[in-house]
C-alpha cells in the first residue's frame, strides 16, 4: 500500500515514490488494459435508480475529506457525495476505501476492475485529480463531475514569518511537511539546500499542524484544505494562505469524480448534480461545514 496522501497529490500522476524522494525519473505510463471480472462491472444509472441507492467511494482516514468517527462517515467528500445522491434522487451508500499504489491503481481497484483480493467496485469514486494524461492512461475509467480546486499552500506562525511570507523565507525557518508529498519534494529539492533550516517530516498533515500549534516548527506546507482544517489546533497564532511557488508544476489541481467508462449516462447525471450544487451555493456550504474555503473549478 502506498501512502494515501502522496498518491492523492497530483505529483503522483507524473512521479513515482522513488522519484519524489530522489528527484529522479517520471513514472511510466500505466494503462487500463486488462479484463474486468464479470462480477464487478458496476451498475447502470437505471439500475441505481431502481435500487434507490448509489455506492460512493471515498478514501478512508483522510480528514477533512473523508473518515469514519464513532461509526459515522464524515468529511467534505461525504457531503459532496450526498449532493450527488440528492441530484440523482437516490440514497447515498458510502464505502470508505484504502488507497492503492497510485491514482491509476485506485481507478483499477475501486472503479472498473475491483481489488485483487476480492470485492466489487463503487459506482462513483471521489477526489480524483482531473488530468488529461491520467484519463488517457486509464481508458476503463471516465473522469467526470469536476467539483473543486485544491492547491498547495502554507500554514505559519505569524510571530515567526509575519503577515505575508514569501517562499524564499522558508530557507530560514523550520518547515513541516508530510513525508513523500508534493510539498516535501518541492521544499527539499527546489527551495531549501545544504546548511539551511531543515524540512521536518511528519507521518500525517494532522501531526504537522499539531507540531506547528506547539511552536516546534514555524510553518507547514501542504494542501490548503488540510492546513485550514488543522488550523484549529493553533487558533489565532496560526495563519493559512497561498503564496507564489516558482518551479512547482503541480501547485494547483482540479478535483473530480470517476466512474466506469461504459456508464456515460451516470457520468452526465453526476456532472449535472454537481454543477447545480456549485451554482446554488450548496457546494461551498459543504466546504464551510468543515471550516474550509472553497474554490470552484473552471467549468467552461
Q: Of the given ranges (8-12, 164-168, 179-183, 207-211), which has the lowest mean pLDDT?
A: 8-12
Question: For position 9, what pLDDT does the model report?
Answer: 52
- Check if the beta carbon of residue 157 is closer than 8 Å to that of residue 236: no
- Check if the beta carbon of residue 186 is closer than 8 Å to that of residue 221: yes
Nine-digit cell string for 64: 477533512
Give the up-direction half-sphere exposure of residue 70: CA atoms within 13 A in the CB hemisphere: 0
- Check if the beta carbon of residue 69 is closer than 8 Å to that of residue 254: no
- Check if the beta carbon of residue 161 is closer than 8 Å to that of residue 55: no
Question: For position 198, what pLDDT does the model report?
Answer: 84
State the CB neighbour count (10 A cutoff) for residue 94: 23
Question: For position 17, what pLDDT does the model report?
Answer: 31
Query: For residues 107 and 261, what is the distance between their CA atoms, to the nearest angstrom?
Result: 11
In this predicted structure, the answer to whether residue 276 has a pLDDT above a threshold of 50 is yes
For range 224-241, the mean pLDDT: 94
Q: How confident is the model at residue 268 (pLDDT cuts 50, 70, 90)?
A: very high
In this predicted structure, the answer to whether residue 184 has a pLDDT above a threshold of 70 is yes
Q: How confident is the model at residue 293 (pLDDT cuts 50, 70, 90)?
A: very high
Task: Answer with the residue of higher pLDDT: 197 or 170.
Answer: 170
Query: For residues 216 and 230, what is the distance between their CA atoms, to the nearest angstrom?
Result: 15
- Work out the percent of the chain whose per-residue pLDDT is above 70: 85
- Check if the beta carbon of residue 151 is closer than 8 Å to that of residue 242: yes
Looking at every residue in the chain, the average pLDDT score rounds to 87
Query: For residues 26 and 152, what is the distance between their CA atoms, to the nearest angstrom?
Result: 20
For range 189-200, the mean pLDDT: 80
Phi and psi torsions of 179, nearest 5°? -60, 140
Question: For position 272, what pLDDT does the model report?
Answer: 98
Inter-CA distances, 71 with 63, 75, 96, 155, Å = 15, 13, 12, 31
Separate counts of helices (H) and strands (E) for the chain: 11, 11
At 117-128, the pLDDT tens digits run 877 999 999 999
- Work out the percent of the chain whose per-residue pLDDT is above 90: 75
Domains, in order of start, for the chain = 38-149+253-288 (3.40.190.10), 151-241 (3.40.190.10)
- Check if the beta carbon of residue 175 is closer than 8 Å to that of residue 187: yes
For range 207-231, the mean pLDDT: 97
Task: Answer with the residue of higher pLDDT: 150 or 197.
Answer: 150
- Check if the beta carbon of residue 192 is closer than 8 Å to that of residue 199: yes
Query: For residues 60 and 1, what is the distance between their CA atoms, to the nearest angstrom?
Result: 13
Question: For position 194, what pLDDT does the model report?
Answer: 62
Question: For position 192, what pLDDT does the model report?
Answer: 82
At 15-51, the pLDDT tens digits run 433 333 333 323 333 344 444 444 456 899 999 999 9
The CA-CA-CA angle for residues 154, 218, 231, to 5°, reads: 55
In this predicted structure, the answer to whether residue 113 has a pLDDT above a threshold of 70 is yes
Q: Which of 251, 280, 36 is nearest to 152 (CA)?
A: 251
Q: How confident is the model at residue 1 (pLDDT cuts 50, 70, 90)?
A: very low
Question: For position 195, what pLDDT does the model report?
Answer: 57
Amino acid at each position: 500500500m502506498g501512502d494515501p496522501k502522496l498518491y492523492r497529490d497530483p505529483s503522483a500522476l507524473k512521479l513515482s515514490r522513488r522519484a519524489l524522494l530522489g528527484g529522479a525519473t517520471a513514472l511510466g505510463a500505466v494503462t487500463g488494459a486488462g479484463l474486468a471480472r464479470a462480477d464487478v462491472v458496476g451498475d447502470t444509472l437505471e439500475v441505481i435508480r431502481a435500487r434507490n441507492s448509489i455506492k460512493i467511494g471515498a478514501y478512508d482516514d483522510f480528514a477533512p475529506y473523508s473518515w469514519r468517527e464513532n461509526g459515522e462517515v464524515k468529511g467534505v467528500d461525504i457531503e459532496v457525495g450526498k449532493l450527488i445522491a440528492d441530484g440523482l434522487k437516490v440514497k447515498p451508500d458510502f464505502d470508505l476505501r484504502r488507497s492503492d499504489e497510485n491514482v491509476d491503481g485506485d481507478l483499477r481497484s475501486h472503479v472498473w476492475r475491483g481489488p485483487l483480493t476480492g470485492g466489487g467496485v463503487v459506482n462513483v469514486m471521489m477526489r480524483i485529480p482531473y488530468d488529461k494524461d491520467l484519463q488517457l492512461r486509464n481508458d476503463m475509467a471516465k473522469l467526470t463531475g469536476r467539483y473543486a480546486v485544491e492547491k498547495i499552500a502554507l500554514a505559519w506562525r505569524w510571530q515567526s514569518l509575519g503577515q505575508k511570507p514569501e517562499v524564499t523565507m522558508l530557507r530560514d525557518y523550520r518547515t513541516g511537511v508530510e513525508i513523500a508529498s508534493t510539498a516535501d519534494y518541492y521544499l527539499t529539492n527546489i527551495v531549501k539546500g545544504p546548511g539551511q533550516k531543515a524540512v521536518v517530516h511528519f507521518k500525517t498533515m494532522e501531526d504537522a499542524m499539531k507540531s506547528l500549534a506547539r511552536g516546534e516548527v514555524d510553518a507547514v506546507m501542504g494542501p490548503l484544505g488540510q492546513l485550514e482544517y488543522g488550523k484549529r489546533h493553533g487558533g489565532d497564532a496560526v495563519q493559512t494562505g497561498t503564496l507564489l511557488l516558482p518551479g512547482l508544476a503541480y501547485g494547483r489541481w482540479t478535483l473530480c469524480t470517476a466512474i466506469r467508462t461504459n456508464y456515460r449516462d451516470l457520468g452526465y447525471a453526476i456532472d449535472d448534480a454537481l454543477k447545480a450544487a456549485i451554482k446554488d451555493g450548496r457546494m461551498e456550504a459543504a466546504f464551510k461545514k468543515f471550516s474550509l474555503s472553497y474554490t470552484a473549478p473552471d467549468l467552461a
